[in-house]
Amino acid sequence: MPPRASRRQLLGRALGVAVGAGAAGAAGFGVARATEPGPAATPAAPQHDPTADIVPFYGAHQAGIATPAQDRLAFAAFDVTTASVQDLQVLLGTWSAAAAQLTRGLPVGAVETDPQSPPIDTGEAEGLSAARLTITVGFGPSLFDQRFGLSAKRPAALADLPTLPGDGTLVPARSGGDLCVQACADDPTVAFHAIRNFARLARGKAVIRWSQLGFGRTSATSVGQQTERNLMGFKDGTRNIKAETGADLDGYVWVGAEGEQSWMRGGSYLVARRIRMLIESWDTDRLADQENVFGRFKTSGAPLTGKAESDTPDFAAEGADGRPVIPVGAHIRLAAPETNGGQKILRRGYSYTDGIDTATGLLDAGLFFIAYQKDPRAQFVPIQTRLAQHDNLNEYIRHTGSALFAVPPGLAAAGDWWGKALFG
């Protein structure tokens, strides 16, 4: 068979989706990888074990939510360009099968040697381990318009985020999206490789609307992780929900029987906010004021009423002058469950830097905030409204991007695909 015909056959197996049966054709992604022979007298170079550092892809919930946070992030929001519901299903099935490969440290498909054909996989992650890669996919409110007949399936909790105080600095080109893909890994190449190949697989069906790279996770999501620092130099997310706290995950993160749309049960809602830090102004502020802004000591991370990072803040404590030791506008006071009706969110934020703002000559850097919850109307919206109105930190930050996505539950096994129950 001619080489080009062989390649078409391989692509058909690798990327095919049995849309009529509602199942993704995942089997083709297991094609054996081709290798190039080296000189006979030259021993093979040592290779990384491609099956090391693997986070299970299949399960009740999508990985990348309660998974202990990795070191790197590549995030992209997509606009669907096709008007065909069948094309959208094929895309989601293809992405699902590709993710099952990539999260095992394998390429999207077989590595080809035909010099006259584009390779199926871009190749930059070849030889790298899985690096604990997780790929998490969500659906934006705009996907539930009239294009695909999904309006009746839109969950009430996927209501458009209201305009919040301070949202005047949001950039539309950095906000929204029909679909999102969150790739987290301990290797930046592995995370980027996932987004790049998803974009290639989406050609003709969807295009990237905006994207963000992140480094230096800013929230501990496991009891075994230390709390990292944000670009302002403070420990971030000390009181975050941890992966080991099942009661908190069930109570605040996973959608349960209360969700009126059965296809979302076991899923969660993702809010992303790109928060630029005015670093140059922050760096001129005196230490005592910085600590009052956050309500924590900068070096130890302890609340101003404690000595250790893990100490519970005492919001009732007063100083000799009769004022609260933790100021009324301190970030930790306004974000705390104690001042938000007991509500919590699971944070998975990352620092970012995108070079220089050419209009001002200042650094464009800050926090790419990601939070998961079971209902943004009861969790993110009231918490962020309170912060936007009273947080002393607002002097030093600007919100420049915003998005909301419904993240469906995990996939059961090969052949399952993101959104299968939604389209059922």
156-207, pLDDT tens digit by residue? 999 999 999 999 999 999 999 999 999 999 999 999 999 999 999 999 999 9
Q: Is 249 helix (H, G, I), strand (E, B) or coil?
A: helix
Split at pLDDT 50, 70, 90, the class of 3 is very low
Q: What is the mean pLDDT of residues 346-353?
A: 96
pLDDT digits (tens, 9 = 90+) for 214-252: 998 887 778 888 888 999 999 988 899 988 888 999 999
Residues linked to residue 276 through DSSP beta bridges, in sequence order: 366, 398
Residue 309 in any domain: the answer is yes
Does residue 54 fall inside a structural domain? yes
> Token pair of 28, please?
């083709």
The residues, ordered by sequence, that sit 6+ positions from 392 with a Cβ below 8 Å of its Cβ are: 292, 293, 327, 329, 330, 331
213 in a structural domain: yes
Does 98 fall in a domain? Answer: yes
pLDDT of residue 256: 96
Contact 364, 277 (CB under 8 A): no
Question: Per-residue pLDDT for 113 more than 80?
Answer: no
Residue 19: Cβ-neighbour burial (10 angstroms; 0-12, 13-18, 19+): middle
- The total number of structural domains in the chain stands at 1
Residue 114: the pLDDT is 81
- Residue 255 burial (CB < 10 Å; 0-12/13-18/19+)? buried
- The pLDDT, as a whole number, for residue 218 is 81
Instruction: Decide if 295 contacts 303 (C-beta within 8 A).
Output: yes
Give domain status of residue 22, yes or no.
Answer: no
pTM of the full structure: 0.89
**Residue 1 domain flag:** no
Q: Tell me the pLDDT band of 48, cut-offs 50, 70 and 90.
A: low
Q: Cα torsion for 38, 39, 45, 50, to the nearest 10°?
A: 20
- Domain encompassing residue 227: 50-423
In a domain, 21, yes or no: no
Nearest to 296 by CA among 238, 246, 247, 347: 238
Distance CA 98, CA 126 (A): 15
Asked whether the CA dihedral 207, 209, 215, 218 is positive or negative, the reply is negative
Whether 326 is covered by a domain: the verdict is yes
